[in-house]
Amino acid sequence: MSQTIEMPLWLLVLVLGFAAYAAWEKVMIPSVRWFFRRRLEKVVARLNQNLERPIQPFKLARRYDMIQRLIYDPQVSQAVVDHARAEGIPESVAFASAERYAREIVPSFSASAYFGFAIRVARFLSVALYRVRLGYYDDAELKNIDPKAAVIFVMNHRSNMDYLLVTYLAAQRSALSYAVGEWAQVWPLSRLIRAMGAYFIRRKSNNDLYRKVLARYVRLATDAGVTQAMFPEGGLSLTGDIKPPKLGLLKYLTADFDPTQRDIVFVPVALNYDRVLEDRILTAAAKAEKRRFKARLSVVGGNILKQLWLRVTGRYHKYGYAAVSFGHPVSLRAFSAGKEGDLTLSLAQELMQKIGEVVPVLPVPAVSWLILRNGPMTRSEVEYGMSQMTRELPQAHIHLPRDDQAYAAEVGLRNLVERRILTLKDGTYTANPDDVDLLNFYANSIRHLMAPSEAATAIKEISAPVET
């Protein structure tokens, strides 16, 4: 036992290396994981004491475990068999595809990344860019939602700022799990978004196997009570108005819904801005009739540097107001009572109607609407139009800065003149012919709130300049 053994140095290094790796994998890694897991559990326990809707264990599960649970789900397994048979490929190949889809979809939520980083960034950017206002909001109604229900925030999609704005304003309620499109699947942005609990979706995929994997993930998360957020329109509005809903995600939620089990409660959320960051990109895409946004990183970086320079030199102005309103919640259990068949379309229409009802009316959309309806106007005429709009739309949620119609008119006019969307000459404000599409874009956000006769007239007046 005490004999000396000779071996080459390279072999000794190799043996010691394997021994160190085995010790790290079997002893150190489990200990480190246990240490951080315990710290995570303590952090989440403290967070849940302050959140109206606690973070569910499903959201805290290890990503690897969640992927395994998803790909071995009975319905996914059957979909793998069906896909292999339909495509004439081995089941092992179809299973590998299902696993790839699961890895693409499943997030890796980090409470520290969400509450320690994401919310702070969301708050900083929202407040730095806009004067953020909370529109219609029934606190008692939202607090009375069944604590065991799965809450889904459904929102109109005006800007990519929507994610940050709602995350910031909902920070005291729960951690939201967003459904995000392919635009976010860029490293390292994708890692951050996964850590925030978002899951990726291919909006235009027609692959039945992919759709089944996605449907089962959404179903499992909902059954576990995870609070989610989605945009039924399926993408940014190119024209500024509320678009017809896409039914995919809603169908996954309504399919096989059992009223005797956990309820699903939809909370309509409406957003509006005095300035949408991507407005020129979106209106250009609308003209070209293509959803291809030419937003290069160089352009984005240049705009960021420009804003920083304006702030350093003391010439920075915020982009105006951004407002969020929360509508009346819709319980799927109550909505489905007495109804038969597929509820997806009727539910989608109900939700979009409720979103439209609470869209905030801000200074820039209001001024845009008035200019397009009436033609060139003086400031006093705009102020009178604002007061008339307030009287004619008693149910609308009109935000008047400082509760002053004159100041609201000033804010809207100043914003549009600084951007050269309106021109001022001899005390009269006139639409810039080159930017009428931007006036359309902002006016369209509140068009549905107007009287049908006025809306029809305004639509005609809005479209005429664009054609010329």
Residue 165 has pLDDT above 70, yes or no: yes
Stretch 137-161: mean pLDDT: 89
Q: Are 403 and 392 members of one domain? A: yes
The CA distance from 137 to 127, in Å, is 19
- Convert the pLDDT of each residue in 8-59 to its tens digit: 777 667 777 767 766 655 555 455 454 445 555 565 556 555 666 666 666 6
Task: Tell me which H or E stretch contains 155.
Answer: strand 150-155
Quote the tokens at residue 43: 């952090």
The separation between CA 399 and the C-alpha centre of its own chain, rounded to angstroms, equals 23
Residue 65: other Cβ atoms inside 10 A: 10
Query: Do residues 337 and 376 touch, judged by C-beta distance below 8 A?
Result: no
Q: Are 435 and 420 in contact (CB under 8 A)?
A: yes
Residues 346 and 389 in one domain: no
What is the Cα–Cα distance from 464 to 82, expressed in whole angstroms? 53
CATH for 408: 1.10.10.10
Return the number of other C-beta atoms located less than 10 Å from residue 303's C-beta: 12
3 pLDDT exceeds 60? yes
Q: Is residue 446 part of a domain?
A: yes
* Mean pLDDT along residues 82-105: 93
pLDDT tens for each residue of 378-392: 999 999 999 988 888
Residue 125's domain spans which residues? 107-277+319-358
Same domain, 344 and 367: no
CB-based contacts of 163, cutoff 8 Å, min separation 6: 122, 178, 180
pLDDT attached to residue 263: 95
- Token pair in block for residue 227: 């609070």
Helix or strand run (H / E) with residue 158: none
Within a domain: residue 36? no
Q: pLDDT band for 354, please (50, 70, 90 cuts).
A: very high
Higher per-residue confidence, 357 vs 47: 357
Position 264: which residue type?
Answer: I
Same domain for 250 and 121? Answer: yes
Domain membership flag for residue 131: yes
Residues 416 and 404 in one domain: yes
Judge if 354 and 443 occupy the same domain: no
Count Cα atoms within 13 angstroms, Cβ side, for 185: 14
Query: Do residue 204 and residue 328 come from a single domain?
Result: yes
Query: Do 255 and 394 reside in the same domain of the chain?
Result: no
Judge if 244 and 366 occupy the same domain.
no
Mean pLDDT across 119-129 = 86
pLDDT 10s digits, 166-221: 888 887 667 788 887 755 555 555 666 667 778 888 877 788 999 999 999 999 99
Strand partners of residue 321: 131
Six token digits for residue 306: 């420009």
Q: pLDDT, tens digit, for every residue of 296-307?
A: 545 555 665 676
- What average pLDDT does the segment 74-103 reach? 94
Rounded mean pLDDT of 264-292?
Answer: 89
Rounded CA gap, 207 and 50, in Å?
Answer: 41
Beta bridge partners of 270: 325
The number of distinct structural domains making up the chain is 2
pLDDT value of residue 291: 66
Examine the fold and report which residue of 309, 335, 358 is the final residue of a domain before the chain moves on.
358
What's 248's domain CATH number? 3.40.1130.10
Hey, how many other C-beta atoms are within 10 angstroms of the C-beta on 321? 23
Mean pLDDT of the chain: 82
* pLDDT greater at residue 132 or residue 402: 132
The verdict on residue 50 lying in a domain is: no
Report the relative pairing of strands 321-326 and 131-134 from DSSP bridges: parallel
Asked, for residue 200, whether it belongs to a domain, the answer is yes
Q: What is the mean pLDDT of residues 252-268?
A: 91
The pLDDT score that the predictor gives to residue 415 is 94
Residues 449 and 353 sit within 8 Å (Cβ to Cβ): no
In a domain, 44, yes or no: no
pLDDT of residue 163: 86
Residue ranges of alpha helices (H) inside 175-320 are 189-195, 208-223, 248-254, 279-288, 297-312
Q: Does residue 202 lie within any of the structural domains? A: yes
Q: Express as a percent the part of the chain with pLDDT over 90.
A: 44
pTM for the predicted model, two decimal places: 0.82
Of 33 and 76, more confident: 76
Check residue 192 and give its pLDDT. 65
Q: For 456-465, what is each residue's pLDDT tens digit?
A: 344 333 333 3
The 10 Å Cβ neighbour count of residue 183 is 13
| 438 and 384 share one domain | yes
Higher-pLDDT residue of 72 and 56 is 72
Closest CA to 413 of 365, 361, 462, 357: 365
State which of 311, 328, 358 marks the end of a domain.
358
Same domain, yes or no: 352 and 422: no
Residue 251 in any domain: the answer is yes
DSSP secondary structure of 281-294:
HHHHHHHHT-----
Would you state the pLDDT for residue 400? Answer: 85
Domain identity same for 331 and 219: yes
Q: Point out the least confidently predicted range of 126-130, 206-210, 356-360, 453-457.
A: 453-457
Domain boundary among 336, 358, 380: 358
Where is average pLDDT lowest: 134-143, 173-182, 386-395, 425-434?
173-182
